[in-house]
Structure 1
């Protein structure tokens, strides 16, 4: 009984926070449907946890937005300030990227992938111009909208030769206000598709919360989130 009461109170607390326009922490008990705020709330301290299904294996992934700092590295944007974003998947995988809110877009300048269970960089990448994470300009959230992103992607492996290639990604808005259910709850989402050089991914974004689902290569479903007001 006490556990059930705690879950009910947590759900009511979350609904109250979103109704007031504030951030909060979602849980598997949440059944809220926020309709306002940015598609991807972007503040240091924001955190999202996902259930990841990849070739039948299930793991957990956590992404945390850190403070602003110089992008660093060897790319053309090394002196630009961006948020350091840490993503951990399972017990072994870690990536660090430098991303920032720029106008209506969140863009990625640089990313490092680490060897399993170590702090040794395995691969580093940077993009020129910066790689789009999500864009909520009015013309890019209307159903049926489509546009092309083109950038030079440079890969710097810890072993072997570096390489640079031109990458083209076609974005399309597939739907808006689409119901989607994930462990964190039931929401109504904007659905985006990104068709890249090697694979196609589909994303479900909920205003005031961020990405709640992703498919393509692997499936990610939101389990919990912490979004600051």
Structure 2
């Protein structure tokens, strides 16, 4: 939703975007209101840092978009080019996934989870078709819009392979909703994903990406590096 701002608000916005775009945080009580750009900016080097609260324990999570390379693995998309995305949580947890822009959204082809503090793969998953990360289609940004995504998920763990069908129902809960996180106060599009085993809610801001997530654990944006 496009919003009008005063020259003062615009100046504050520019300063704030410069601050957080360089990886810092911006929170002075005003609302940061980017009005253009994708829900999830997808460029090599983009980085988001979150405060994660899980069962009362607080840690930090950092996700970085890497260069394009073949997805690899044994799935049907192994020859597709996708960005290698590295996510580090706390001091021990690491996941690597292969994701790319496809059509109106970002999709995930393959993901590896590693044993704590090692480079040993603990679990590997791939999806057919590629699993939706977020969809930016205009019809999926309207409050009340809902759609179903269905995938075949293959999981490799401990030398055992298993495949199951996943169904995820997406719903747009709100648009232009204020949300406050350590990085500042934003106006966000709110999406809910009701999956096979759990329900998650996401707050996305155009030109910045995900600023909050709840369901299972809570993630709140602390800083981001998303150059214009």
What TM-score does the superposition give when structure 2 sets the normalisation length?
0.90
CA deviation after TM superposition for structure 1 residue 38, in Å: 0.6
Q: Does residue 223 of the first structure (1) align with residue 222 of the second (2)?
A: yes
Residue matched to 1:138: 138
Which residue number in structure 2 is paired with residue 52 of structure 1? 52
- Report the alpha carbon displacement of residue 25 of structure 1 after superposing the two structures with TM: 3.5
Q: Which position in structure 2 is the counterpart of 1:195?
A: 194
| CA–CA separation in structure 2 for the residues paired with 1:171 and 1:80 | 26
Tell me, what secondary structure is at the counterpart of 1:42?
coil
In 1, the alpha carbon distance for the partners of 2:201 and 2:11 equals 31
1:29 aligns with 2:51: no
- Over residues 65-120 of structure 1, what are the superposed CA-to-partner deviations in whole Å (9 max), with x where a residue is unaligned? 00000000000000000000000000000000000011211000000000000000
Q: Residue 156 of structure 1 corresponds to which residue in structure 2?
A: 156
What is the RMSD of the two structures over their aligned residues, measured on CA atoms? 1.9
Give the count of matched residue pairs: 216
* Alpha-carbon distance in 2 for matches of 1:13, 1:59: 33
Aligned runs of 1:6-25 on 2, under 5 Å? 15-16=13-14, 24-25=22-23
> Taking structure 1 as the reference length, what is the TM-score of the superposition?
0.90
Partner of 2:4: none
Q: Are positions 1:101 and 2:101 aligned together?
A: yes
Taking structure 1 as reference, are residues 213 and 176 closer, same or farther at Cα in structure 2, changes over 3 Å only?
same
Residue in 2 that maps onto 1:83: 83
> 2-side partners of 1:76 and 1:69: how far apart?
15
In the other structure, the counterpart of 1:172 is: 171
Measure how far apart 1:24 and its partner are: 4.7
Aligned to 1:208: 207
1:228, CA displacement in angstroms?
A: 2.1
Structure 2: stretches of 5+ with no match in the other structure: 1-9
Report the 3-state secondary structure (helix = DSSP H, G, I; strand = E; otherwise coil) of the residue aligned with 2:74: coil
The Cα shift of 1:139 comes to: 1.1
- Secondary structure class of the residue paired with 1:74: coil
**Aligned partners of 2:95 and 2:113 also within 8 Å:** yes
2:67 matched residue in structure 1: 67
C-alpha change, 1:107 and 1:18, in structure 2 (3 Å) is farther
